[in-house]
Amino acid sequence: MKILNLYPVLLLFAAAACTERIDLTLDESYIRLVVDGGISTDTASYRIHLTKTADYFYNEPTPRVVNAAVNLSDGMNTYPLTETEPGRSGVYETDSTFCGQIGNTYTLSIDLESPIDNRTTYTSSCRMMKVARLDSIQINFQPDWGPEGFWEIKVFAQEPGDEVNYYMFHYYRNDTLMTDSVWKIPISDDVYFNGNYVNGLTAVFINNENSWERPYPGDKITIQMSGITREYYDFLYQVQLAGYNIPFFTGPPANVQGNISDGAIGFFTAYSNSWASTVAK
């Protein structure tokens, strides 16, 4: 008697069943202002990006908000921002001599040429917090972590104490920013070391399989440790969490909470910096 192998036939039917076309019709959302940018204690030109939201299937670059009047204030002084390409860029920057001061609260005010969602004026405020003063950093290779091993960068610093502080870390290799997207930025609070000396906190992990980010002998390795507000810590945490949805293809459980007034999206942040460098061996 001849026995037929039905597995290939069943597999073919299963594959065919998975190719059914589904046309999704998504509702159009109302347009909102999107604000992205911040300032720090370092002297530099700082940029604020203004754009508009767009529908999911919008196949063009995000619309830029041009010809706006953008200003910063610390309660005593006002610092006007200028559009880098007037009428085109939607990017507004401070003077190159600007630097923030710890303890000040900075208010960003935006006056639009044309209304968005029937509004022309938006504001946001953020306090510039303390930061732990970095003494040094240390880089170690852990060959037993994963198939190719991991690098870890540890920080040594005196934590200021007085209140719960929140931190973010940026990693530079040869003065090139490696934590170049929000999902790569490590963040931490100081619950377990508030007011104490930080004796080797692992701030950054680097997969040795990643040839772009991993250090090589002789590379200059720099860590930027920044004191941030609780609100900005929560914002970064929510954005990063939204990038790891379970089950797949699900959206975030709620809109990420920013600090821009009147229903706008995004965050204006102010933070203090401490820096330390070493050479990879």
User: Greatest CA separation found in the chain?
Assistant: 95
The predicted pLDDT at position 2 comes to 40
What's the average pLDDT block by block, 10 residues per block, for the chain (281 residues)?
A: 43 52 56 96 97 75 93 96 96 97 97 95 97 94 88 93 90 94 92 86 90 91 97 94 61 76 96 96 86
Domain boundaries, the chain: 33-127, 133-259+267-279
The predicted pLDDT at position 160 comes to 85
The predicted pLDDT at position 13 comes to 47
CATH 1.10.3470 fits 133-259+267-279, yes or no: no
CATH level 2 (architecture), domain 33-127? Sandwich (2.60)
The predicted pLDDT at position 250 comes to 55
The predicted pLDDT at position 164 comes to 87
pTM of the model: 0.84
The predicted pLDDT at position 9 comes to 44
